[in-house]
Every structure is written in structure tokens, then in C-alpha cells.
Chain A
């Protein structure tokens, strides 16, 4: 399996951080960056990471199943994560979630028909003092209101058109 030059460089950089014989340590970060490029964790990716990190594909598979950010299903181009944990719940996170579900017509870990946006109701994202928060990919949005959420979704949908 081959990756873009930038990703390949990143993967090699990650791989080089761990001592000889401990390359298994690179499994999780490598999967994260590989997934960023491919859009999901594929069987080929599992085999490739296993080969590079000197473990069995099963050992990679176990990891993929465990971590909530590793997805075997393809998520949207924009993976919009809405936190509804306590601090966000107290400040309107639940309402944001309901609004997004209604507006996009998709639920938790589902993708819009055009593949553009996926939604995930996430656990505490670490923005409690600036709640509620929405994370688009890796980009944090704080003090989000329904209006701000609409603006975000508008901008995502406009970018494509």
C-alpha cells in the first residue's frame, strides 16, 4: 500500500521514534495519519501497518476495534463531532446535536448522501470552559450556538459548490 509523499514522510517519522524491536508502538499513530489520508481504516491499511510495525494483522485489528477515532467505515469529508458531555450538556450541546441531526438528516456516525458530512456525538473533547464545542475534523469551535453551527455547516456545504 502506498501513501502520498507527505503522509509517507509522516509515517516514517513516526516509525523512527520508537526503539528497535518496539516498533509496535507506532501502530496507533500510524493508523491515525493513514486514516486521515484514506478516509477510513481499510484491510490493506491494517496489513500495511502490521507489516511495518512487525505485528500480526490481528494485533492491529484489535487496536482498530478499540479506539473510537479509528473508523472502518468511511466518514464524511467533514467529520463533525458534537460534544454532549456534562459541560456541554449544561450549555446547550444536546440542542446542538438535535439541530445537526435534524438539519442533516443523519444520526450518530452516519454520513450524508453526498459523503460530505458525517456526524458523531462525542465524549468530552476537552473544551469544557468554552462549552459547548463542536469539532470539525481536528478543528475546534467553541461557545457554539445554533447559529454558529449553521454557519459552520453552511460554510462546509458552500465550499463544495
Chain B
């Protein structure tokens, strides 16, 4: 059987304002113009969402058509002659804006959107200088729909972007339209309040100040902020977020510039969950336990104290145990792992593992191009989600699949222990308790064999030999398959990649002298030093070694810090430079947005301890640039193109296992099962996340 070769469709030729243009058939005129640098104004048109033709701003003249046409609904056709800059068009735009302003309040001086308002910009460019409207404006009072969302119906221009963003983009459908005519307004799903993801997509997409966020409302003007593009520090999806910063305070997060792997997507954590950085419980001074109580001391005293202790334990051949955090930067993890092994002469380093990346890399050993990227999830023809409530646990990945189904009719399959949102549009959604997934998968085999390709996303129920079993099963489908091993936090993946495991060196190289795993460390009665770096392993657990000297690098006085002998106040990811690796293995750059007085980055703290111990040369220079250079040079799979990183893009890593099997200790791999509204240790300190009525949320909720 031969595959028919389809020639790319011929381009359509058409003319706009005398300029000959071409575009693929089916392209909407408004998009074709945009690509050619011709602006057709529009409020309701929004790429990626359904067409409305409601705002009438995009009207253009098309030859042989008697009436003005909406460029947002008109596909280009061969020989079409379009005019967008005639007197008639100018008049139509001006007229429509004049209509729009009749009931829109002119409270721009206090409106949050002032300076970023599409209506302001349109009136400036296309509108009249004065209003002929002298009647009384319709008014309706502002409403608060949730701790996040405020709605001001008077400002609303009814472009229905929010409705579509919620319904189509998020798959939530929490917003609708009620009433009729001039008193039409947007209405939330619970009559006077919202029950939704609280993601704020509706707010960001609002072209005017009708939807505003409680976090940013009346706080500042857009031009008074600095805008810092960095990566969200909550879940593993690695969304780019642009933090609006004023006076060392983060006042908002969004990604309106559509940079990064997530485009405009962010969930409630990415948009509003930054507030933990300003929590009043934030630690701002090192502390040493004196007479049983933690007392604030100077940095030099605390560093010296720890260095002395580490040196004596090292000299005495005592046992170290190191717990690495999963929100640390790649540089911090690499540096910590290196210092632990080379400086402290120990491989007793681990982190809380949440997915079995190690076995997957091993099972796929030798294959190229089998790990899916975030972008792949938007383009794949089929995807299979196993054992994850994706919309809750991996909102960006879920968003991508939803968009893929909507735009490309991709077929989505799920096998989960309970109901998931994906079932609303999936080709098949099967429920199977954890551990019984393969029976369900067998039912899908025939359908999947008929697909052209597949991306499999699997959660922590698939680990150890079950990963190998999955790969073997997928091999049997006879179609190209790519994988995503789901992990929990912003750098859970980097922690595995860069050596924060007891038996693997950075780049999945076997450690010749494997150390203790996290559970083994916590259970080792003879441990002399326990050092938790950006991690809180003692939450709900005891350290078996009662006499161990405990050092905690942390933002808050968490359970580990409460047990600690020395506490170092560390900087959050929003206060750091460096890189992180997301769930799909894509590296992105962090950019420090603020500084919190009294804190230091974990990299600096580790470096200073090393220096105090006289081991600076062993550990190396503790700047993220220097460490990244070393990673880039030495770590297999991290030879990523630097221009991508520098320009704030995501670079795919290529991890390769050397064929060496290690004991992954499957019993220690477990996801924390965070929902959209919880975020491990960080979520506890986000007042916004804990204040929404949907908190804490639940997975597989019916």
C-alpha cells in the first residue's frame, strides 16, 4: 500500500489596500492581514476561540459584496479585493466606537486597565475626539464573584472573550451571558459567585477593565511596574509568567505577551499564587538553636557554626543526609549534589520523587525523540492520560490537549481512578483503580492501533516494572509513541536529571558508590547531619536520628525548620536567577523579580557553607552562570541551544540512560496529589490559594 503524497495546498492570492497578498486557503481575512502587517481592529475576535462577529470593528470593503464584511469571519478567496482604509471604513469604526462609549464609563483615570486598555487604544486610533452622547448612561454596580474575580458590568463591552476563554480554553464553562440587549451582562455559574478554576483567564483576556483581579485591583498603574518574565514555581508544567513588580513587591502575574511554552495560559497558582513571597511568616534572618529555642543570629555566625559542625562530622567520618528541594534551580541542585558528593564525601542525597522518570529513561534507552514536549501535546493526533487528574494536577498539559482536540480534532483517551474533566471531550474515558490500569489499556489497544501517533502521559501509579510494561504495550501498538512521565513540582524533573538521587550522578550516570535514599536517611538512627535544602521532609514524619544536627534552608518555619539546629532564610524562585526543567524535560530560565531583605539564594548559602569549610575550590563558584556553564558542558542531555534560553524560550533536554539499571526504590515514588488550589509547601503560605472557596479541591471529583 502506498501512501498518497498530498501536495501542500496552493496559496490563495488576494489584495488588501492594493497590496497583493497570499495565504493558505481557509485563512481568515483578519489573520491574513495581521500576518501581512495590516491591522484590522477587533474586540471580539480572538485567535484560537470561536468566532462571534459581534463587535463589528473589523468591517472591511470587499469588491463585489454590497455590504461591509467582517474580516473575522471571511476566509480569503482567490482574487478577492479588499479595502480596509477607506473613508467608509473609517466612518464605520468611528461610529461603532461612538456607540460603544455611550454606556462605557469614562473612569479611565482609576480603571485598572488604563494604559493597557484595548478600548482606549482603539478610540485613540480610530475614534472621534468628542462624544455626541448627552443622555444618561446605563449603570449597574460592580460585583465580586470570588476572592479573585470582580466584574463591573458598566465597563463590559460584551465581546464574549471571557465566556470563550472559560468554556473553550479551560473547559470549565463558568461564565455565561444573561439578560438581553443593552442590559446584557456576563453572569457566573453560581448566580452571584463563581465555582471554577479561579484561573483568571477571563480577567487577562478582557480587553477593558470589566473583569479585574482582587490582587491587582486599584493597586498600581501598569506603567509604574517592572515586568519580569520568569517561570512559575508551583507545579511541574513550567509556565512562563510575567510578574508585575513595584517597589520589590509582586503585584500581578500574567502572560499576556504569550511568550513561553504556555502562550497565555496560566492557572490560579501562576497568576495569583505569588503571594507566598510576601507572607508575613517569611523568615528573614538565620537562626541558631540556643537553649532549645531558635534565636536570630547573623549570617556569619550561622554559616560559621554550620561549617564547623560539618567539618567535625566529616573528620569523624559521621553520616550526612541531604534532602534537596523540588523548587530549587537546576544550578542549586547540581551544585548541592556535587558538594555533597565531593565535599561531604557522601551520596546520601535524595529528593521526594513523584514520578518514575528514571525507569522511563532506562526503558526508552537508545531511542531518539520519544519524550514529548508541551508543544507536542497541542499537535499530536492522539493522547492517552493514565492515572492523573490532568486538569487539576497538570493544568497546562490539560489545556494543550483541550486545544488540540478543539483545533485539530485530536483524540484523547483517559484511564484514571475517577472522573476527569477530559471526559467531556475525550474519545474514551475509562475508570480503573490504581494498579489495574493495564486491564483498561487492553480495551483501548485496538482503537489506539488505528491512531497515527500517540503521546502517553502517566502518573505515579505507573512506576518500576510497570513503566517497562507500559512501554512494551505501547511498542505493540505499532505507531510512533512519545511519553511524558508526570512529576509534581517546578523542578522535580531537574532534581532527577541533575544528581539529587543517591544512585545517579547528573545525566543519569550511575553513582559508583550509591548512598541512602530519602526514606533511608530519615530512618538512619546513626545520622550525624541532616541538611534540608528547600525541602520539608519532616512534615508528618520523624527523623530517626534524635541526636542528628539538622540544618534547614527554607522560606518558612516549617516542620523541618522547627526541628533544626540552624535555619537559613532562603530566597524563593521569584527571587532567583537560574534555570529549571519542567515535566516534559524542557529547560527555561528564571529571572529574579524581587528581593526579600535578609534572604539569600540556596546556591549562595551552599556556596558560603562550602567556603566556610574551606572547600570552595571543591564546590566551585556559586553563581548560577558559572554552574550553568558546567551543567551545559558536563551533563549529558543538557547541551541545549543557549540562544533559546537567553531569549526566554524553552530548550528540550535529551536525557540518555547509559544502560545501567539502578534500584529506583518504587515504594518511595509518590505524587503529593496536589490540586489546582494546593501546592505542596508553597501553597500553605499563599493566602490567595487558601482563600478561594474551591480550596483545597479534590482529585477525580464527580
State if A and B touch, Cβ cutoff 8 Å.
yes
Q: Which residues of A contact B (CB under 8 A)?
A: 43, 56-59, 61-62, 64-68
A62 and B180 in contact, given A43-B191, A56-B189 (Cβ under 8 angstroms) = no
Q: Report, nearest first, the 10 A-B pairs whose CB atoms are least far apart.
A: A65-B178, A58-B189, A62-B176, A65-B179, A58-B176, A66-B180, A62-B178, A62-B177, A61-B178, A61-B187
A57 to B178, CA, bound (A): 12
Q: Is B173 an interface residue, CB under 8 A from the partner?
A: yes
B189 A57 Cβ-Cβ under 8 A: yes
- Most B CB within 10 A of own CB, among A56, A59, A62: A62
Q: Contact check, A58 vs B179: say whether CB atoms are below 8 A apart.
A: no
A-facing residues in B163-187 (Cβ within 8 Å): 173-180, 187
Q: How far is the CA of A67 from the CA of B191 in the complex (A)?
A: 17
Q: A57: which B residues are within 8 A, CB to CB?
A: 189
CA distance A61 to B176 in the complex (A): 8
Q: Is the interface of A mostly helix, strand, loop or mixed?
A: helix
Q: How far is the CB of A86 from chain B (nearest CB, A)?
A: 19
Choice from A43, A58, A64, A67 contacting B173 with Cβ under 8 Å: A58
A65, B180: Cβ atoms under 8 Å?
yes
Residue of B173, B177, B179 touching A56 (CB-CB under 8 A): B173
Q: For the complex, give the distance between the alpha carbons of A65 and B177 in Å.
A: 8
* Complex CA–CA separation, A88 to B631 (angstroms): 84
Which chain B residues lie closer than 8 Å to A61 at the CB level?
A: 176, 178, 187, 191
Query: Apart from A65-B177, A66-B180, what 4 extra A-B contacts exist at CB < 8 Å?
Result: A61-B176, A62-B176, A65-B178, A66-B178
A43 to B190, alpha carbons, bound, how many Å?
10
Inter-subunit contact A59/B178 (CB<8 Å): no
Q: Residues of B contacting A43 with CB < 8 Å?
A: 191
Instruction: Give 20 A-B contacts (CB < 8 Å), ordered by A residue.
Output: A43-B191, A56-B173, A56-B189, A57-B189, A58-B173, A58-B175, A58-B176, A58-B187, A58-B189, A61-B176, A61-B178, A61-B187, A62-B176, A62-B177, A62-B178, A65-B179, A65-B180, A65-B187, A66-B178, A66-B179
Complex: A62 Cα to B178 Cα, angstroms = 5
Residue in A closest to B175 when the chains form the complex, CB atoms: A58
| A159–B188 alpha-carbon span in the complex (Å) | 43
Complex Cα spacing A56 to B172, Å: 11
CB of B151 to closest CB in A, whole Å:
14
| Chain B, range 508-559, C-beta contacts under 8 Å to A | none
Contact of A59 among B176, B180, B188, B191 (CB under 8 A): B176
Q: Shortest CB–CB separation between residue A145 and chain B, in angstroms?
A: 32
Contacts of A59 in B (CB 8 A): 176
Q: How far is the CA of A68 from the CA of B176 in the complex (A)?
A: 18
Q: What 0/1 pattern do residues 613 to 627 of B give for CB contact below 8 A with A?
A: 000000000000000
Which residue on chain B has the smallest CB distance to residue A64? B178
Q: How far is the CA of A43 from the CA of B189 in the complex (A)?
A: 12
In the assembled complex, the CB of B193 is this many whole angstroms from the nearest CB of chain A, namely 12
| Chain A residue contacts of B176, Cβ below 8 A | 58-59, 61-62
**What residues of chain A lie closer than 8 Å to B174, measured between beta carbons?**
58
Q: Which residues of A contact B191 (CB under 8 A)?
A: 43, 61
Residues of the A chain whose Cβ atoms lie less than 8 Å from the Cβ of B175: 58
Query: Chain B 413-424 against A: per-residue CB contact (8 Å), 1 yes, 0 no?
Result: 000000000000
Residues of A within 8 A of B177 (CB): 62, 65
Once bound together, how far apart are the Cα atoms of A67 and B180, in whole Å?
8
What residues on A are CB-neighbors of B180 within 8 Å? 65-68
Contact between chains at A62 and B187 (CB < 8 Å):
yes
Q: Which residues of B contact A68 (CB under 8 A)?
A: 180
Residues of chain A lying within 8 A (CB to CB) of residue B187: 58, 61-62, 65
